[in-house]
């Protein structure tokens, strides 16, 4: 069974720092990997989706990379802001099924 792990579970950084969130998965047979943001009391908002044939995707200050063969993805956040404070989840898609990590809770300190 596919297992998705996110380390660390929580991260606290001062404003302005660049940071990297990690996601690993056990089975490389995926169609894509998606990064989500979840604010307290809210649903999941998609940030970036990387197809299995792609190596990275960028949106503004966010850059996500995918190394399918090693089962790893990273989400890079440049020049972090207090508004980036949220939980970030990754998910892999294997067709009809999605497998989610438990998330990294990010706090950006002003």
Partner 1 sequence: NAGVTQTPKFQVLKTGQSMTLQCAQDMNHNSMYWYRQDPGMGLRLIYYSASEGTTDKGEVPNGYNVSRLNKREFSLRLESAAPSQTSVYFCASTVVLGGGGNTIYFGEGSWLTVV
What is the residue whose two structure tokens read 């943001």? 37
Among 18, 26, 31, 61, which residue interacts with partner 1 (rule: CB under 8 A)?
31
Dihedral, CA atoms, 46, 50, 52, 55, nearest 10 degrees?
Answer: -160
Q: Name the nearest CA neighbour of 6 among 23, 27, 19.
A: 23
Q: Binders of partner 1 among 80-109, rule CB under 8 A? A: 89, 91, 93-98, 100-103
**83 CB neighbour count, 10 Å cutoff:** 9
Give yes or no for residue 76 binding partner 1 (CB under 8 A). Answer: no
Size of the chain in residues: 110
Among 30, 47, 66, 77, which residue interacts with partner 1 (rule: CB under 8 A)?
30
Contact between residue 52 and residue 108 where contact means Cβ atoms under 8 Å apart: no
x/- mask, partner 1, residues 41-70, rule CB under 8 A, reads xxxxxx--x-xxx-----------------
Number of residues that bind partner 1 (CB under 8 A): 27
Q: Which residues bind partner 1 (CB under 8 A)?
A: 4, 30-32, 34, 41-46, 49, 51-53, 89, 91, 93-98, 100-103
């Amino acid at each position: 069974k596919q297992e998705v792990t996110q380390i660390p579970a929580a991260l606290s950084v001062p404003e302005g720092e660049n940071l990297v969130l990690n996601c690993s998965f056990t089975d490389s047979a995926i169609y894509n990997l998606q990064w989500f943001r979840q604010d307290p009391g809210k649903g999941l908002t998609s940030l970036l989706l990387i197809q299995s044939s792609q190596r990275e995707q960028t949106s503004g200050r966010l850059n996500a990379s995918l190394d399918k063969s090693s089962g790893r993805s990273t989400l890079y956040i440049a020049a972090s802001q207090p508004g980036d404070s949220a939980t970030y989840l990754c998910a892999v898609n294997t067709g009809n099924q999605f497998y989610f990590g438990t998330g990294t809770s990010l706090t950006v300190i002003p």
